[in-house]
Structure 1
Amino acid sequence: MSATPVPASHPRLRIAARTGAAVLGGYAFTWGFIAACTALAVKLGMDFHDAEFLASALGLLLFLAVFLGTVASRRGALLLWGVLLGGGALLAAAGSLLQASIA
């Protein structure tokens, strides 16, 4: 029996898929978060520019956490893409619904 691990097929493709999910999927998820957070803060009475700044500052921290979590995750890249893009779409839809209820 060999003590060395079996090499994965196409490791560069796996790294590229995970990096793409971390960067592009993380961006989509963060964008949805910022949209939802801004709309929620404005709905609660905060000035728009203050809400936008707060959401963007929190979004920067969220992007870092999502990026590092995606790179460190042992899950498959397809699942990561689905979670990040789906979550970003749900957050953006929630922000859009909140924004429509403000007017």
Structure 2
Amino acid sequence: MLLLMSARSSSVSSATPSGRHILIRITAAILGGYVFIWGFIGLALAGLYALGMPFHDAEHLSSMLGFLLYLTVFLWAFAVRSLSRAWLVLVGGGVLMTILASLIQHWLV
């Protein structure tokens, strides 16, 4: 029985993430989430304005949706298995949405 408990505790301790891993995941959730939401708000604002919504209404709606999405993205950054996938989706998606928003804004002007 003691041997079984020690084998079980060693497998649990090896599955526990290190402090560095947790710090990197927190950084991904905060900074990567910020980049993702920056791109989302820019894209939503440009898209809604391009569809005919008044600017300030589009601004407020995209900001409110961005706040809710930030919470979702923040929690997802801890739930995803791969840390590199979290960084890729958050930063890559944010940059892609920012580029698309810039193209829409350029098209409107």
TM-score scaled by length of structure 2: 0.87
Instruction: Report sequence identity in percent.
Output: 44
Supply the distance in 2 between the matched residues of 1:50 and 1:59 (Cα, whole angstroms): 14
Paired residue for 1:30? Answer: 37
Alignment of 1:16-95 (within 5 A): 16-75=23-82, 77-95=83-101
RMSD: 1.5
Q: CA deviation at 1:7?
A: 2.3
Runs of 4+ deviating beyond 3 Å = none
Q: CA deviation at 1:9?
A: 8.2
Paired residue for 1:3? Answer: 8
- Pairs aligned (count): 102
Flag structure 2 segments of 5+ consecutive residues without an equivalent: none
Flag structure 1 segments of 5+ consecutive residues without an equivalent: none
| Greater helix content | 2
Paired letter, 2:96: L
Which whole-Å deviations, capped at 9, do the CAs of 1:26-76 have from their partners, x for residues lacking one? 00000000000000000001111110100000000000000011112222x
